[in-house]
Structure 1
Amino acid sequence: GYIFRKSNPAVFGIRVDVGLLRQKVAVMNADGRRIGVVHQIQDGGKSINMAKKGQEVAVSIQNVTIGRQISEEEVFYSLPSSHDAKLLLKRFEHKLSPEEVEVLKEIMTIQRKVTRRIFEQACEDQVHQLPLLPCRQVSRS
């Protein structure tokens, strides 16, 4: 991929595989880690508000460094809230292409895995924070 600037902000080339990409949209990677917000989209050196399926554009994202938080060939997804994703699927599925429905379901699956990991980690942390209870050995006579 094309890298125009590694950080402050990171500016790099992307291809929109499915749907639309808009400015000010939060994005995540395939592991569900929030990458940042698309600050600007450019096509041929001109700022545009959105990029459509098949377009190759440059995007800028603040507070991320290429080679550290993100890698060149990584796949990114928009990051709607789980409520918004469910609502979109429920109310507008008939207006979405089969590819868009599939990707939206992928996004929801990724978000469920992240939520499960967070919950499991919180439970594990809670268990480690429980006070040690005094024990007494009971002997049989």
Structure 2
Amino acid sequence: SKIILPAKIKILSNYIFRRSNPIIVGVKIISGVIKPGFPLIMENGRRVGEIMQIQEHGKVLKEAIEGMEVAISIRSNMIIGRQIKENEILYTDIPNDQMEILIEKFRNDIGEEGIKLIKEIKKIKKRAY
């Protein structure tokens, strides 16, 4: 199964293109990296859905990294403005068993900030269950 990397992104409230099914919004990558197929959760730990596509100026990207502002589509049964705030912070939903692998084997790739972010995601997931 593919490794889900840590990421923290913020929905840009001025760039909400579709509110549901799929959700299409502009986001800023606060930290980490996102790729299509990565699942997303909210700060309360609720699963939002899965990133379908990432675009920048109409061009499809394989990933987006810290500092970038991109449009993403999310396969989701939630609605922006209802369950999801228009300026919501979202995180990648890393499976618990993968967190340990990332910390042990990919420490150099994700760096200290990545490790911090994994711990933040771990806390969020603990609260949710």
| TM-score, normalised relative to structure 1 | 0.76
User: 2:33 aligns to what?
Assistant: 20
1:83 to 97, 100, 105: 97
User: 1:6 aligns to what?
Assistant: 19
2:42 to 8, 23, 29: 29
* Structure 1 CA distance for aligned equivalents of residues 27 and 50 of structure 2: 14
User: 1:105 aligns to what?
Assistant: 119
Q: Determine if contact 1:27/1:79 at 8 Å carries over to the other structure.
A: yes
* Structure 2 CA distance for aligned equivalents of residues 59 and 32 of structure 1: 20
CA-based RMSD: 1.2
Q: What are the ranges of 5 or more consecutive residues in structure 1 without an aligned counterpart?
A: 116-141
Displacement after TM superposition at 1:90 (Å): 2.0
The structure with more radius of gyration: 1
Matches within 5 A, 1:122-141: none
Q: What are the ranges of 5 or more consecutive residues in structure 2 without an aligned counterpart?
A: 1-11
Question: CA-to-partner distance for each residue in 1:38-65, whole Å, 9 max, x for gaps?
Answer: 0111110111111011110001112231
Q: Does 1:40 align with 2:53?
A: yes
* Structure 2 CA distance for aligned equivalents of residues 104 and 70 of structure 1: 22
Q: Determine if contact 1:89/1:101 at 8 Å carries over to the other structure.
A: yes
Question: CA-to-partner distance for each residue in 1:84-125, whole Å, 9 max, x for gaps?
Answer: 01211122223322221111110111122223xxxxxxxxxx
| TM-score, normalised relative to structure 2 | 0.83
Displacement after TM superposition at 1:78 (Å): 0.4
Q: Which amino acid aligns with 1:3?
A: I
